[in-house]
Amino acid sequence: MKLTRRRFCSAIAATPLISPRFSAGDEAELNRDVVIIGGGLGGCAAAIAALRNGLRVVMTEQSDWIGGQLTSQGVPPDEHGWIETAGANRSYRQLRSQIRQHYRMHYPLTDAARKNAALNPGNGNVSRLCAEPRVSLAVLEAWLEPFEKSGQLVLLREHVPVSANVDADRVLAVTVRSTKSGDSRVLTGPYFVDATELGDLLPLTGTEFITGSEARSETRELHAGDKVDPTNQQAFTMCFAVDHLAGENHTIDRPDKYDFWRDYVPKMNPPWPGRLLDFTYTHPRTGKPKRLGFDPDGGKSVNGALNLWTYRRIIDDSLFKPGRFDSDISLINWPQNDYLLGNLIGVSDDEAARHVARAKQLSLSLLYWLQTEAPRPDGGTGFPGLRLRADLMGTEDGLAKMPYVRESRRIKAAFTVLEEHVGRENRSVVTGQSPDEVSAAVFADSVGVGSYPIDLHPSSGGDNYIDFDSLRFQIPLGSLLPVHMQNLLPACKNIGTTHITSGCYRLHPVEWGIGEAVGCLVSFAMKKKVKPSAIRETPKLLAEFKDAIRQQGVESEWPT
């Protein structure tokens, strides 16, 4: 049976499907060992692993920046407390090391900052490595450049998948289209990887997937809801960066929808404490109102409250010699610009584009509110010196190139990670151990590790924060294997998790680990001439595969 899907499921771009046409020199069909659709962190890690193992790779990316969360979405890495020494792959630490080295080589750091092995250019609260998106982009591009120059890697920027040719349980080809020229190319190969932010290949290929939230009766998860709701999805965010020039006025034009967003009160359960554009929000753990602070000239707290200015700060001016920066630079990804009024999955392309446009209006409205109406510690209002740094985002409107996405389509997998496997409280109930003694489930087929609280942002279905302790967890190989499709693998937030457990498997180092495991898996399967599922099901092959990835620096278990 041959099945051809002709539906464009990208979340942002929305031009009509056109007949393929090709520029001079273009190949109508491009065949490689592995076709990676999506050039975010998972896609880059999958490509690097496959290239390292000698495979020929083609990777596409929707924007003109590879790197996803770290670059085109503008988000400094959310990481756990052991990241410098444990709980991440060697290649991920290499990425972090190269970002630091880029600053040492190209920026006028102070002598003390240059000598600091744990250099954090932004000194942000959220991460030990807050840096500019363009620096992360430069590092990733330099890493891939030798493979591009040799022809082992073909990188198609600004390309989106538009259709797939599927035969029973195998993908035969994916057609991608340039969002600049409209030209199309057919990509073929023995393996395909969905590293898109929203799992765009899953509906195109007929791969079974789940969206939204599951019911507690189905998953037995303590924090799941009472009913299944495919449309209940976490907020997404249009991030932006600002610096602050005291005494100057950089107030933007009043956004068209400012009146709406200034007065908007989210309808949440538990209730949101008031207007979204305010420094009081819902405490993620208690559900009670919590006050935040904001002061570009202050420290990491303002009157005892977290200073949002330093929260995701990506440049700390004090680490650089005088004159390099006009001020600190902060990345704005806050509760106040989480967009709750619609989804990017399960809607038409036109509707998704409308939601992105509205989310941009929200972020611009937040900036305008900060510049004109936000309360200052001195009793005044507004910070007109806040300057939108469009140059750092690489866009005309000053916002990130792509939405920061927290939730994707998720494959129906050979194994699904549940709260009982990784959630501290749920794990304690299942094992009978105390919450202080319990540890996460140990998976014999583990191909990676991670650690982060289960952190779900407010959702389009009206759920307020769902935020609670998880345990240092593993990434089971079974969660990377679709139940039906044999040669398509997920490499982003689209693995076999639930709505609940996706909250701790969606962060930067885990996405990188997922991608690297997939790149290694494709290489090993091709070398052994077996299906990926056979590796998991055959103890000897599984042991050999785990040994192979450990030799390549993949951490598959936490040290005791």
Query: β-strand 329-332 against 209-210: which pairing, if any?
Result: unpaired
* Residue 128 identity: R
Using an 8 Å Cβ cutoff, are 383 and 374 in contact?
yes
The residue among 334, 358, 393 that closes a domain is: 393
Whether 49 maps to a domain, the answer reads yes
The residue among 165, 186, 205 that closes a domain is: 205
Query: Do both 46 and 189 map to the same domain?
Result: yes
Half-sphere exposure of 408 (CA within 13 A, CB side): 28
Q: How far apart are CA 499 and CA 270, in angstroms?
A: 19
Dihedral, CA of residue 182, residue 187, residue 192 and residue 198, to nearest 10: 0
The residue among 393, 413, 438 that closes a domain is: 393
Whether 37 maps to a domain, the answer reads yes
Tokens of 260: 């709406």
Query: Do both 168 and 283 map to the same domain?
Result: no
Query: Do both 166 and 242 map to the same domain?
Result: no
CATH number at residue 48: 3.50.50.60
Q: How far apart are CA 145 and CA 134, in angstroms?
A: 16
Per-residue pLDDT of the chain (560 residues; tens, 9 = 90+): 333 333 323 333 333 222 333 333 345 899 999 999 999 999 999 999 999 999 999 999 999 999 999 999 999 999 999 999 999 999 999 999 999 999 999 999 999 999 999 999 999 999 999 999 999 999 999 999 999 999 999 999 999 999 999 999 999 999 999 999 999 999 999 999 999 999 999 999 999 999 999 999 999 999 999 999 999 999 999 999 999 999 999 999 999 999 999 999 999 999 999 999 999 999 999 999 999 999 999 889 999 999 999 999 999 999 999 999 999 999 999 999 999 999 999 999 999 999 999 999 999 999 999 999 999 999 999 999 999 999 999 999 999 999 999 999 999 999 999 999 999 999 999 999 999 999 999 999 999 999 999 999 999 999 999 999 999 999 999 999 999 999 999 999 999 999 999 999 999 999 999 999 999 999 999 999 999 999 999 999 999 999 999 999 999 999 98
Query: Do both 258 and 368 map to the same domain?
Result: yes
Give the Cα-Cα-Cα angle 444, 511, 188 (nearest 5 degrees).
Answer: 95
Whether 446 maps to a domain, the answer reads no
Q: How far apart are CA 400 and CA 69, in angstroms?
A: 10
Tokens of 18: 């056109």
Helix (H, G, I), strand (E, B) or coil at 72: coil
Query: Residue 358: which H helix or E strand, with range?
Result: helix 349-372
Whether 558 maps to a domain, the answer reads no
Q: How far apart are CA 288 and CA 272, in angstroms?
A: 9
Which candidate, 209, 200, 208, places its Cα nearest to that of 163? 200
Using an 8 Å Cβ cutoff, are 119 and 44 in contact?
no
pLDDT score for 560: 82
Using an 8 Å Cβ cutoff, are 329 and 314 in contact?
yes
Query: Do both 269 and 361 map to the same domain?
Result: yes
Give the structural domain span for 74. Answer: 2-7+28-205
Query: Do both 292 and 376 map to the same domain?
Result: yes
Helix axes 90-106, 508-528, angle to 10 degrees: 120
Asked if the bond preceding 121 is cis, omega within 30° of 0, the reply is no
Query: Do both 272 and 141 map to the same domain?
Result: no
5 - beta bridge partners?
164
- Beta-strand ranges (E) seen in 357-399 are 386-388
Query: Do both 50 and 186 map to the same domain?
Result: yes
Which candidate, 42, 96, 92, places its Cα nearest to that of 66? 42
For residue 79, is it left (φ>0), alpha (ψ between -120 and 50) or beta?
beta
Query: Do both 165 and 278 map to the same domain?
Result: no
Whether 315 maps to a domain, the answer reads yes
Whether 288 maps to a domain, the answer reads yes
Whether 358 maps to a domain, the answer reads yes
Query: Do both 122 and 265 map to the same domain?
Result: no
Query: Do both 248 and 384 map to the same domain?
Result: yes
Helix (H, G, I), strand (E, B) or coil at 194: strand
**What's the pTM?**
0.94
Query: Do both 157 and 304 map to the same domain?
Result: no
- Beta-strand ranges (E) seen in 359-407 are 386-388
* Domain total in the chain: 2
CA–CA distance from 20 to each of 165, 175, 177, 181, 319 (Å)? Answer: 15, 9, 8, 11, 51
